[in-house]
Chains A and B, each alone.
Chain A
Amino acid sequence: DQQVKQNSPSLSVQEGRISILNCDYTNSMFDYFLWYKKYPAEGPTFLISISSIKDKNEDGRFTVFLNKSAKHLSLHIVPSQPGDSAVYFCAARSSRGSQGNLIFGKGTKLSVKP
């Protein structure tokens, strides 16, 4: 049973436009959410995070929105650049869990076309 779902395996966007990557979760105990970016043959790198007490967090071109009532979060990239082409993983954790492990979604492959 997937607790973190990324329903779009892939997304293609034109350079300069907005990329919106979506993530849904089922566990209401999750209180911290993170996005990771992964290039081929490299390990994932942390991108941005958000606590459940907030509904928005912004870092440069990247903004994460959290809708707790819908159990939904999204990552916006504006403007998208070809170097943003990568697999993006959504992850969630509960601070009240036994070890607070991160639960990852299956990832969305973003392609930004010049």
Chain B
Amino acid sequence: DVKVTQSSRYLVKRTGEKVFLECVQDMDHENMFWYRQDPGLGLRLIYFSYDVKMKEKGDIPEGYSVSREKKERFSLILESASTNQTSMYLCASSLLWGSNTGELFFGEGSRLTVL
């Protein structure tokens, strides 16, 4: 079974703090993604990566950065957290697009509250 593990299930941070969200997958997937989920807004793509050290902006990259130094690990960074970044953050991985149906495997999510 594919396993996508997010380092923290729940975090509480203060405005202006730097926040790291870590994600590790164990299936040697090329693609990794960070989404946020908010009520009434669905899943919105923040950043994705299709290879080590490669990254692409998603729909809402402002206020976020990412790092992919190893194939299995994809980190989301909030340089200076703000209250509007309070959300559920979901990491996902998948095989290369051309080789599969595009199914994403999600982690359990990280609930971030910024005070």
Binding site for B on A (CB under 8 A): 6, 9, 32, 34, 36, 38, 41-46, 49, 51, 89, 93, 95, 99-102, 104-107
Contact = CB atoms under 8 A, between A and B. Distances in A.
Contacts, number: 63
B109 A41 contact: yes
Nearest to A49: B101
26 contacts: A32-B102, A34-B103, A36-B104, A36-B106, A38-B37, A41-B109, A41-B111, A43-B4, A43-B106, A43-B107, A43-B108, A44-B43, A44-B90, A44-B106, A49-B101, A49-B103, A51-B101, A93-B102, A99-B31, A99-B50, A99-B97, A100-B98, A101-B48, A104-B35, A104-B44, A107-B42
Of the listed residues B37, B102, B103, the one surrounded by the most CB atoms of chain A closer than 10 A to its CB is B102
B45 interface: yes
A46 B35 CA distance: 16
Contact of B90 (A32, A43, A51): A43
B74 to A, nearest CB: 14
Interface in B27-76: 31, 35, 37, 40-45, 48, 50, 56, 58
A110 B9 CA distance: 24
Interface of B: 4, 9, 31, 35, 37, 40-45, 48, 50, 56, 58, 90, 92, 97-98, 101-109, 111
Contacts of A102: 102, 104
A93 B103 CA distance: 10
Nearest to B108: A43
Given A32-B102, A99-B50, 5 more contacts: A36-B104, A36-B106, A41-B109, A49-B103, A102-B104
B42 to A, nearest CB: 4
B102 A100 contact: yes
A50 to B, nearest CB: 10
Contact of A95 (B50, B90, B98): B98
Contact of A9 (B40, B92, B98, B102): B40
